[in-house]
Chains A and B, each alone.
Chain A
Amino acid sequence: MTSQPADLRVIRARRSFSENAWRTLKTAPFTAWLGMIIILVYAIAALFAPWIAPFGESEIVGKQYLPPSAEFWFGTDQIGRDMFSRVIYGARNTIGIALATTLLSFIIGGTLGVLTALKRGWLDQTISRIVDAFLAIPVLIFALMLLAVFGKSVLLLILILALLDSTRVFRLARATALNVVVMDYVESARLRGEGTGWIIFKEILPNILPPMITEFGLRFCFVFLTISALSFLGVGIQPPTADWGSMVAESKTLITFGRAQPLIPAACIAILTVGVNFVVDWFLHKTSGLRE
C-alpha cells in the first residue's frame, strides 16, 4: 500500500560495487562493526595459529593446572599443556569443523531445496515428508544417538551434523525458492524455453542469495554451538585435538576451586557467536528493508 510513496523511490544513480560496499559499511551500526572485527580476529587466529601460539597444540610445557602467569597467560590444563596456545589452536579446529559442516549442509540442503521448489511433484512430496520427520527430532538428541551408534570420529561428526542440519537449510531454501519460482520472470524464462540449469542459476539463485547468506551465518552459529556442546559432553571433537568445548569439560573442576580458567574457552565460543549474530542482525535489517 502507501507504505512507501512513489516519490520516495528516487531513481538511484549507478555506483560501482566497491563504492556501494564502502557506503554500506559506513552506515553500519557499532554492533555490526564490533561483529566484523571479532570475526576478523578469529579468522587471523585460526589461519596463523602455529605462528601466533607460543607453544605447540599438545605440547606438555609445565605442571598440571598452573594458574595464569607471564609465561602461561591462561595457565596450564590437566596434563600441563599451555591453555593460551590451545585456545588459539582451538580457533582453527572448532571453527574449521563448524565451517566445513555448515558448507556441506548448505550444499546438500540448498541444492535439494531449490530443485524441489522448481520441480514440485512426487519428489518434492517425498523429500519434504522425510525432512518433516527429521525436523521432529532435536538435532542434539539425534546427533547424540548417532554418535552412540557410530562411535566418535570428527569425519562422522561433520557428516552427521551436516545431514541433520541440511534439513533446516532445505526448508528455508525451498520456501525462499518457492517465493521466487512463482514470479513472472521465472514463468517468462520457461515460456522462452530455458532449461532447468538456466532457471536455477540465472533466475532463482541470484534472488535467494541474500536470505541464504543470512541463514548461513545463523546456521554456522547453531552448528558451532552444537559441536561445542557435543564436545563439552565428551562425544564431539576428541583429545588431543584442541577444541573449546572439550577444553571446558577437561578443566571444569577448576571452577569449584574458584578459578575462572574454564570460562576462557567458553567465552571464546560466546564471543564469536555474538559477533556473527551482530553482523547477521545488521545484514537482515539491510536486506529485508525492515523499517520499524
Chain B
Amino acid sequence: MHPVLRTVLQRLGLGLLTLFIVSIVIFMSLELLPGGFAEAILGQGATPETVAAFNKEIGLDRPAYVRYVEWIAGVVRGDFGSSYAGLGGSIKRSVTEMIAPRLYNTFFLAIVTAIFAVPLSLFLGVMAALYRNSFYDRTVNAVTLTTIAAPEFFIAYILMFIFAVKLRWFYPTSTVSESTGFVEHLYRAALPAITLTLVIVAHMMRMTRAAIINLLASPYIEMAQLKGIPNREVIMKHALPNAWAPIATVIAFNLAYLVVGVVVVEVVFVYPGIGQLMVDSVSSRDMPVVQACALIFAATYILLNLSADIVSIITNPRLLHPK
C-alpha cells in the first residue's frame, strides 16, 4: 500500500478511536452520580417512588453498557433520545428536533465568521512575517496580544455598546427564527460574527506569523535567495509547497477554537444556537441535551484536527515520494 494512504488510514483510525473514547467519556459522565442525580433533578419533594420511576424512565435500571450501545446506535442514526424537559409529561421532546435548527444557526455563524476570518488572518500573518519587526508588525503584535487576552464577552459587549446601543447600526440581540430570510439572518448575525472574527483573527494571525517565520528560517529558503530567485517566487515556489501543513494546522486549531468561542458569544447576543442551548440545558441539568451538544462540539473539534493532520500527511513529500 502507498505510504500516504497507509498513514491517512492510520490517522483516520486514530480519529475514530478518539471519537469512540470521547463518546464513552461523555456517556460515563452521567454515570458518575447515578444515585443522587434523580433527587437533584426532582428536587426536595422527591419520594422513593418518584425517584424509582424517574430512574426507570431514563433507563438507569439497566446495565450501563446496554444503555451506551442503545445511545450510540441512536446517535449514529441521528437520534439523540428524549429531553428530560418532557419527562413525565404527555409529550416527549426529541433532542434531535431541539438541536437541528440551532445547529444550523451555529454553523451559519461559524461559517460566516470563517469566510472572513481565515483569509484575513492568513494575509495579516504572512505580512507580519515578511515585514517582521516593522512598525506594522509591532502594532499588530500589541493589538492581537490585547485581543487574545480579553474575554470574548468583553469584546462582545463593547461592540454591542458601540454599534447597537449608541450608533444603532445593529440590533443588540440577534434573534432569528426559521422564517428569517438569508440576508436578514446575515444582518442579525453580523455582531456575533464580528466579535468572533476579532478573536479568531488575533489568534490565527499570530500563529500564521510564527509558522511562516519558522519556515523562512529553513536553509533551503536561504539557498533559493542565494540562487538569485526573486522574493515573490521564493515564497510561492519554495516556501508555499512546504507551508500547507503548518497553515492547515493553524486553520484547524482556530476553527476548533471558534466552535468553543461560539458558546459565550451566542449567550451574549441571545443568538439561538447550539451553544446557548447547551448552557440552558446545563442550568436545567437536561442531560440528554447536554450530552448531545457535548458530543457534537467534540466531534467537530476532532474532525477539524483530523483534517489538518490529513492535509499534513498528503502534502508531505517524504510520504508522497517514498524511498
Contact = CB atoms under 8 A, between A and B. Distances in A.
On whether A and B touch (CB less than 8 Å), the answer reads: yes
B279 A234 contact: yes
20 contacts: A132-B18, A136-B19, A136-B305, A138-B256, A141-B260, A141-B294, A144-B278, A144-B290, A145-B291, A149-B285, A233-B263, A234-B283, A248-B153, A255-B160, A260-B161, A273-B149, A273-B150, A273-B151, A274-B150, A277-B149
Interface residues of A, number: 48
Given A150-B32, A233-B264, A256-B165, A138 B150 contact: no
A186 interface: no
Nearest to A252: B157
A146 interface: yes
B29 A149 contact: yes
A149 B157 contact: no
Interface of A: 31, 132-134, 136-142, 144-151, 221, 225, 228-229, 232-235, 245, 248, 252, 255-258, 260, 262-263, 266-267, 269-270, 273-274, 276-278, 281, 292
Interface string B29-47: 1101100010010000000
Interface string B132-158: 110000000010011011111110011
Given A142-B294, A144-B279, A149-B32, A228 B151 contact: yes
Given A137-B298, A148-B290, A258-B161, 14 more contacts: A137-B22, A145-B290, A145-B294, A146-B29, A148-B281, A234-B279, A257-B165, A262-B157, A269-B150, A270-B146, A273-B150, A274-B146, A274-B149, A278-B145
Contacts of B26: 137, 145
B285 A270 contact: no
B47 to A, nearest CB: 21
B151 A225 contact: yes
B165 A255 contact: yes
B142 A31 contact: yes
Which of the listed residues B133, B148, B153, B281 has the most CB atoms from chain A within 10 Å of its own CB? B153
Contacts, number: 143
B149 A266 contact: no
Given A255-B172, A278-B145, A137 B25 contact: yes
B30 A235 contact: no
A221 B145 contact: no
Contacts of A138: 256, 259-260, 297-298, 301
Contact of B151 (A145, A266, A292): A266
Contacts of B245: none
Nearest to B17: A133
A270 B263 contact: no
Contacts of B148: 277
B21 interface: yes
Given A149-B287, A267-B154, A133 B264 contact: no
